[in-house]
Amino acid sequence: MDAVNTIGESALRLAAFAGVFLVMALGEFGAPRRDLGHGRGRRWITNMAIVLIDTLAVRLVFPLAAVGVALWADASGIGLFNVLDVPGWLAGIICFLALDLAIWTQHLAVHKIPVLWRVHRVHHADVDFDVTTALRFHPIEILLSMVWKMIVVVVLGAPPLSVFLFEVVLNGMAMFNHANFHIPASVDRVLRTILVTPDMHRVHHSVAIAETDSNYGFNLSVWDRLFRTYVPQPALGHEGMTIGLDEYQTDRPTRLGWSLLFPFAPLDAARREARRMLGKHQETR
């Protein structure tokens, strides 16, 4: 972790972000998976503006962020792996996996708990699905996510390098599995045995609630298979499916002001009832 401190965590993360974003964006231009219904233009401006606001919010509220908290826990001897006599490499692998499961659990929670869904639906309101959708999380959700990650990091006593690598991989994988570029079906089948692919995660952005409530992973695909939330393909196919929220198929989600205020808008009653009935049906299976 000393090397990370010397070079600068923020600089390394920015370089990784920019590199992955550029590769994904070029892939979308060169071999798009689907035609964009609303194009880029204002959508990209809004989604990029949201991630800039998110970054500023985290820096202002949590200047240490997850890696800084890991360094503090390590120096203070706090947390499970700062007490147990476990090799650093093994602790790093276990913590990486535990953090990935924690993010999967968080994602499940923001879909199932109405007050959290209010905020998370900003992400799902995007009427198209591409690399910038990965950046479209309301600042409130980003701050809550950071609180959750810091709690997990402290409880685990996660090695700082493991936390740093997890953050970099998570950001890169989020851009990868939201990217709108074509991957041959044979390659996708192999990749998704381990990783969440764009075709796998696109199902999660369907307007169909049964598909929205599936494929919660951002990084490893094992959690959805393990907890039986895996849906391999959308019912209408990737070209025929509709992206976003059924009740907001307009250009409103492409607007920055609307997106930032959306958590304070009423929840859609029909969607709440559909979720309730879906949950009741699943309980009886």
User: Residue 268 — very low, low, confident or very high, per pLDDT cuts 50/70/90?
Assistant: confident
Alpha-carbon span 204 to 154, nearest angstrom: 30
Alpha-carbon span 116 to 118, nearest angstrom: 5
Domain of 255 in residue numbering reads as 2-179+245-270
Domain assignment present for 195: no
How many structural domains is the chain composed of? Answer: 1
Domain assignment present for 249: yes
pLDDT of residue 3: 44
DSSP state of 262: G
Residue 285 has pLDDT above 60, yes or no: no
Domain assignment present for 189: no
Alpha-carbon span 84 to 134, nearest angstrom: 36
User: Residue 12 — very low, low, confident or very high, per pLDDT cuts 50/70/90?
Assistant: confident
Mean pLDDT of 140-160: 98
Alpha-carbon span 101 to 119, nearest angstrom: 21
Residue type, 206: S
Domain assignment present for 60: yes
Mean pLDDT of 89-112: 98
Domain assignment present for 43: yes
CA distances (Å), origin 92, targets 58, 84, 106, 207, 232: 24, 13, 21, 38, 31
Domain assignment present for 116: yes
What sign does the CA torsion over 194, 198, 199, 202 have? positive
Q: What percent of the chain has pLDDT over 70?
A: 92
pLDDT of residue 280: 54
Domain assignment present for 277: no
State pTM to two decimals. 0.90
Residue 2 has pLDDT above 90, yes or no: no
Mean pLDDT of 104-122: 97
Tokens of 39: 């194009």
Check residues 275 and 53 and name the one with the higher pLDDT: 53
pLDDT of residue 21: 97
Check residues 267 and 187 and name the one with the higher pLDDT: 187
H helix intervals, the chain: 2-7, 9-30, 41-61, 65-76, 80-83, 88-112, 114-124, 139-156, 160-177, 185-191, 198-204, 209-212, 222-226, 237-240, 256-261, 269-284
